[in-house]
Amino acid sequence: MPKNWFISGSSSGIGKAVLEYALNKGDSVVAALRTPSVLDELKAKYPKQLTVVKIDVTDQALVDAAFEVAKSTFDHIDIVFNNSGVALIGEIESTTEELARKIMDINFWGPDRINRAAVKVFRDFNKPVGGRLVTTTSMCGIKADPATGYYSASKFALEGATQALNAELDPEWNIKITIVEPGLFYTPGINKNITITPDHPSYSVKPELPSSVFRSAVKIAGAGQLPCNDPVKSAPKIYEIALIDENPPLRFPLGKDCHSMLKYQIDSLKKDGERFEHLSEGILTTDP
């Protein structure tokens, strides 16, 4: 049966790839984005299946209004693909507090607003209750690399809040959540939707320092000279995950680079945990 989708961040990259794939499958979509005119051509191609609405995830009123459009368009919303975000490259010391707060608002509070609105729709609007919430974070929500500190912090925060939300849901609501953790993709995030802080003199003086090396790698990736994942190829994978009703994964690492980062982080946590586990003995009054 065709599905009804709500997709945020659908103007380009993974969001647009999933949007186009779902439409091609015969599904209907309310696409929410900052500049609706970007999808004029797609709207002309799929006039009955596609509804386009303006959204700014930093504005609660616009988030609520976008979901009201979805509710007036569909009698049941099956899947919410929560995919908004921007990139930030810069050392902790080179990032102003103002910029760090802005990134947290866009990458954490914004998608968190979508998450909460989706749960409300699935529970209070859908009959029967239930739905699939697929939220995009990043491989940087698994492991923080040099020069990704506040970007990673925003993704770590979204991972934590989404995992907690998943644990809080009443099973009777039939709401299933999956966190998609993409690796590095050729998207406008590499070129247009990215902020790179000015070089910090204490770091840039040594090009061999990890953050300097990472900055150089980002420039190479933006020029298309570094192997990256293809958003178009990601779409059928995310679509397949979104259609899993029974026992879907809480996390879906997307891309070989993300899997490598995941394995590294697991090994690092295990190594440190086992090495110093003995220091935790005797702290609790009783054994857990």
> What pLDDT sits at residue 137?
95
Fold classification of 4-275 is Rossmann fold (3.40.50)
Domain ranges of the chain: 4-275
Distance, CA of 139 to CA of 159 (rounded, Å)? 11
Whether the Cβ atoms of residue 277 and residue 204 lie closer than 8 Å to each other: no
- In this prediction, residue 194 carries a pLDDT of 81
Written as tens digits, the pLDDT of the chain (288 aa) is 899 999 999 988 899 999 999 999 999 999 999 999 999 999 999 999 999 999 999 999 999 999 999 999 999 999 999 998 888 999 999 999 999 999 999 999 999 999 999 999 999 999 999 999 999 999 999 999 999 999 999 999 999 999 999 999 999 999 999 999 998 876 554 556 788 899 899 998 998 999 999 888 777 665 555 567 788 899 999 999 999 989 999 999 998 899 999 999 999 999 999 999 999 888 877 766
What's the chain's length in residues? 288
Q: Is 10 exposed, middle or buried (0-12, 13-18, 19+ CB in 10 A)?
A: buried
Question: In whole angstroms, how far apart are CA 54 and each of 85, 200, 236?
Answer: 15, 37, 25
Position 170 scores a pLDDT of: 98
CA 222, CA 67: separation in Å to the nearest integer?
34
Output the pLDDT for position 61.
96
Which residues contact residue 118 at a Cβ distance below 8 angstroms, ignoring those fewer than 6 apart?
A: 6, 67, 77, 80, 82, 131, 133
pLDDT attached to residue 185: 73
Residue 222 has a pLDDT of 56
**Residue in 19, 180, 178, 72 with CA at minimum distance from that of residue 64:** 72
Burial class of residue 127, CB neighbours in 10 A (0-12, 13-18, 19+): exposed
Dig out the tokens for 139 from the structure.
């491989």
Q: Residue 198, Cα to own-chain centre: how many angstroms?
A: 26
